[in-house]
């Protein structure tokens, strides 16, 4: 077996291991040859076996992979998988060791002063909106155009199919045409689901298709739904390019998409920056508000995760924090807690507990500053080519090196 084959095999095995212990596989998507399918890999391996195989794969990668960016990308992914195994095996890791080990970022709480500044921005953005005080204004804003339950389900399963075609066209017009490259796209199917810890999910199916699910237990209004649609659609687009790169290069590791690695930081960062990529106009005052609420929600979400997982506060206290400091309704705070809690309702390790950092850190520390620089220097063509034509740039481990040319 060559190094790339070992890499894909071990991803599948760690996926089977995480599925056994948490109900969720670390493998998010696979579109490679049937023999290397995660389902065909061992489901029995212990943590000791897996760590041993990971170390052998490290050696094989060092011996066989010449492209420095590809090597660094794969080593980073493998390192994260090693941390996944240690974590799920019960090794004594602090929450910050876990977050930093998985995502190659530093974990820090946002100060209450930063949160105050963010609240002030929301207050300013909402000065003309109706309501007694900020909390009342945000509640009214959320209720306006709210879509829930059956109406939401109908919207997702009918109108969104049409909306997806329009968004696909936006990506083609504004990004692909600029890059001077195209990618096959067999479309996205939308589905409404319930009882999931997330609000939306892109399941990339391979053969240039996705299934995008939206959780109808969550409340959406037309603005938050639109933001989620762009986010999930960008995941689809970035996976299309990855599949194309896999077919062109035959680099097997591109056919497997693991969670909880440096890749996720960039993938969630680009998804949270999709509206900027597409230059979606923010003339609408409701969008200005949404853009001001976004950092407040993300920052207080991260702080809640640290309070819960690192400082040991209770779920009720974390809900209070999100309500008081994130200006969420109690219902919305309670709905989002399942994603960040250390354990699930049935007492298992919550696989998603460290994941919340990827979105905001990916956007603010990696993707957005680089994108803004590219805009300033009139280098958007090369920015998109770097991002979408070379999948090895898409990791927190390789990102800065990949954009060194952007001085
Ligand atoms: Zn996402």
What tens digit of pLDDT does each residue of 257-311 get? 999 999 999 999 999 999 999 998 778 899 999 999 999 999 999 999 999 999 9
Q: How confident is the model at residue 99 (pLDDT cuts 50, 70, 90)?
A: very high
Res 155 pLDDT > 90: no
CB of 14 within 8 A of CB of 80? no
**Distance from the CA of 231 to the center of ligand 1, in angstroms?**
6
Q: Which two tokens stand for residue 352?
A: 């998603």
**Distance from the CA of 198 to the center of ligand 1, in angstroms?**
9
**Distance from the CA of 361 to the center of ligand 1, in angstroms?**
13
Pairing between β-strand 220-221 and β-strand 146-147 as defined by DSSP bridges? antiparallel
**Distance from the CA of 339 to the center of ligand 1, in angstroms?**
13
Res 326 pLDDT > 90: yes
Q: What phi and psi, each to the nearest 5 degrees, are found at residue 50?
A: -65, -45
Weakest mean pLDDT among 97-106, 190-199, 230-239, 244-253: 190-199
**Distance from the CA of 232 to the center of ligand 1, in angstroms?**
6
**Distance from the CA of 359 to the center of ligand 1, in angstroms?**
7
**Distance from the CA of 128 to the center of ligand 1, in angstroms?**
32
Per-residue pLDDT averaged across 367-375, rounded? 98
Q: How confident is the model at residue 108 (pLDDT cuts 50, 70, 90)?
A: very high
**Distance from the CA of 201 to the center of ligand 1, in angstroms?**
6
**Distance from the CA of 274 to the center of ligand 1, in angstroms?**
11
Report d(CA 262, CA 397) in Å as an integer.
6
Predicted local confidence at residue 282, as pLDDT: 78
Average per-residue pLDDT for the chain? 95
Report d(CA 156, CA 169) in Å as an integer.
19
Look-up of token digits 């065909």: 40
CB of 244 within 8 A of CB of 184? yes
Contacts of 128 (CB under 8 A, 6+ apart): 285
Res 329 pLDDT > 90: yes
**Distance from the CA of 247 to the center of ligand 1, in angstroms?**
24
Using the Cα atoms of residue 51, residue 55, residue 56 and residue 57 in order, give the sign of their dihedral. positive
Report d(CA 251, CA 149) in Å as an integer.
43
Nearest residue to 38 via CA among 59, 58, 24, 22: 24
Predicted local confidence at residue 224, as pLDDT: 84
**Distance from the CA of 219 to the center of ligand 1, in angstroms?**
17
Return left, alpha or beta for 260; rule: phi > 0 is left, psi -120 to 50 is alpha, else beta.
left
Look-up of token digits 């190094």: 3
Report d(CA 94, CA 216) in Å as an integer.
34
CB of 399 within 8 A of CB of 270? no
**Distance from the CA of 225 to the center of ligand 1, in angstroms?**
14
Give the other-Cβ count within 10 Å of 208's Cβ.
18
Q: Report CA-CA distances (Å) from 18 to 46, 302, 337, 339, 394.
A: 11, 23, 21, 16, 23
**Distance from the CA of 135 to the center of ligand 1, in angstroms?**
27
**Distance from the CA of 235 to the center of ligand 1, in angstroms?**
7
Predicted local confidence at residue 160, as pLDDT: 85
Per-residue pLDDT averaged across 90-108, rounded? 96
**Distance from the CA of 177 to the center of ligand 1, in angstroms?**
24
**Distance from the CA of 59 to the center of ligand 1, in angstroms?**
32
Q: What phi and psi, each to the nearest 5 degrees, are found at residue 144?
A: -70, 125
Q: List, in sequence order, every beta strand (DSSP E) within 110-207.
A: 146-147, 188-193, 200-206
**Distance from the CA of 370 to the center of ligand 1, in angstroms?**
19
Residue 66 DSSP label: -
**Distance from the CA of 377 to the center of ligand 1, in angstroms?**
28
Res 351 pLDDT > 90: yes
Burial class (CB in 10 A: 0-12, 13-18, 19+), 170: middle
**Distance from the CA of 382 to the center of ligand 1, in angstroms?**
24
Q: List, in sequence order, every beta strand (DSSP E) within 132-254.
A: 146-147, 188-193, 200-206, 209-215, 220-221
**Distance from the CA of 264 to the center of ligand 1, in angstroms?**
8
Nearest residue to 304 via CA among 290, 289, 320, 285: 320
Nearest residue to 291 via CA among 165, 121, 129, 139: 121
CB of 193 within 8 A of CB of 213? yes
Distance of CA 139 to the CA centre of its chain: 27
Report d(CA 320, CA 337) in Å as an integer.
11
Nearest residue to 171 via CA among 154, 157, 188: 188
Predicted local confidence at residue 186, as pLDDT: 94
Report d(CA 236, CA 273) in Å as an integer.
14
Residue 111 DSSP label: P
**Distance from the CA of 52 to the center of ligand 1, in angstroms?**
31
Per-residue pLDDT averaged across 351-360, rounded? 97
**Distance from the CA of 131 to the center of ligand 1, in angstroms?**
32
Distance of CA 222 to the CA centre of its chain: 21
Report d(CA 336, CA 387) in Å as an integer.
30
Report d(CA 369, CA 359) in Å as an integer.
14
């Amino acid at each position: 077996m060559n190094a790339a084959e070992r890499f894909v095999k071990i991803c599948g095995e760690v996926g089977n291991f995480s599925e056994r212990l948490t109900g969720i596989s670390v493998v998010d998507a696979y579109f490679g040859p049937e023999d290397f399918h995660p389902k065909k890999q061992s489901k029995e391996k212990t943590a000791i076996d897996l760590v041993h195989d990971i170390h052998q794969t490290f050696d094989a990668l060092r011996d066989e992979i010449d492209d420095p960016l590809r090597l660094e990308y794969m080593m980073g992914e493998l390192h994260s998988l090693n941390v996944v195994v240690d974590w799920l095996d019960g090794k004594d890791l602090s929450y910050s060791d876990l977050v930093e080990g998985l995502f190659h970022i530093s974990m820090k709480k946002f100060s209450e002063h930063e949160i105050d500044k963010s609240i002030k921005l929301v207050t300013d953005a909402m000065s003309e909106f109706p309501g007694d005080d900020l909390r009342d204004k945000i509640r009214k804003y959320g209720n306006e155009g709210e879509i829930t339950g059956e109406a939401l389900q109908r919207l997702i399963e009918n109108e969104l199919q049409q909306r997806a075609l329009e968004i696909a066209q936006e990506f083609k017009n504004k990004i692909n045409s600029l890059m001077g490259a195209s990618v096959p796209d067999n479309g996205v199917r939308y589905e409404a689901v319930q009882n999931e810890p997330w609000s939306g999910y892109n399941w990339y199916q391979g053969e240039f298709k996705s299934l995008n699910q939206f959780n109808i237990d969550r409340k959406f209004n037309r603005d938050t739904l639109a933001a989620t649609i762009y986010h999930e659609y960008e995941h689809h687009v970035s996976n299309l390019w990855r599949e194309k790169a896999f077919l062109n290069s035959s680099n097997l590791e591109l056919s497997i998409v693991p969670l909880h690695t440096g890749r996720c930081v960039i993938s969630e960062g680009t998804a949270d920056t999709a509206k900027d990529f597409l230059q979606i106009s923010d003339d609408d005052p409701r969008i200005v508000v949404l853009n001001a609420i976004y950092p407040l929600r993300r920052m207080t979400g991260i702080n809640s995760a640290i309070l819960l997982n690192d400082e040991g506060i209770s779920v009720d206290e974390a809900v209070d924090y999100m309500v008081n400091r994130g200006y969420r309704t109690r219902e919305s705070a309670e709905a989002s807690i399942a994603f960040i809690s250390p354990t699930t309702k049935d007492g298992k390790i919550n696989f998603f507990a460290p994941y919340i950092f990827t979105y905001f850190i990916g956007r603010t520390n990696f993707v957005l500053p680089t994108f803004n620089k590219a805009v300033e220097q009139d280098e958007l063509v090369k920015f998109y080519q770097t991002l979408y034509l070379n999948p090895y740039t898409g990791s927190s481990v390789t990102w800065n090196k990949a954009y060194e040319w952007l001085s």
